[in-house]
Amino acid sequence: MTHVYVSAVLPAPIDAVWALIGDFNSLPDWHPLVAASSIEGGLSSRQIGCVRALDVIDDGGTIREQLITLSDQEHVCRYSILSGPMAVRDYVATMWLLPVTTASQTFAQWEARFATDPVDRAAMVELVTSIFRDGFASAAEKLAERS
């Protein structure tokens, strides 16, 4: 299995960060690569097992992801990719937050484990890493604008 891990310190308290990124359907509000998101079947975006369809900008296709874990108490979200244009299989990602106790900041972590063909491994590691980094950078900008 391939493993990608990205972390960042975000400039807001954990509750403010979670309010921005904690909803499974909120990616278009803070991630620059997601043009739209919808929850299939009329389910709640907080219901374990719900599926979101993400439209990626610049006609990057649609990615379908399923919610595995969502905890407001632990500030964690885990999901899997069901289908999409990425050359990955058995993809499971987890995003979780921890308070920085010496400041009004949040330590954010995002990791994914997935299988991919050896020929695609470097490209997929680079792609997933950039998705996570771009997401955290954009979230930091959005949070700074709010303060």
Domains, the chain, in order of start with CATH, read 2-146 (3.30.530.20)
**Are 117 and 110 a contacting pair, CB within 8 Å?**
no
CA 88 to CA 29: how far, in whole Å?
Answer: 25
The burial class, CB within 10 Å (0-12 / 13-18 / 19+), for 94 is: middle
Give the SS3 label for residue 18: helix
pTM, to two decimals: 0.94
Q: Which residues pair with 144 in a beta bridge?
A: none
pLDDT digits (tens, 9 = 90+) for 106-142: 999 999 999 999 999 999 999 999 999 999 999 999 9
Tell me which amino acid residue 100 is.
V
Q: How confident is the model at residue 58 (pLDDT cuts 50, 70, 90)?
A: confident
What are the backbone angles phi and psi of residue 24, rounded to the nearest 5°?
-65, -15
Which residues have C-beta within 8 Å of that of residue 18, sequence separation ≥ 6? 72, 75, 97
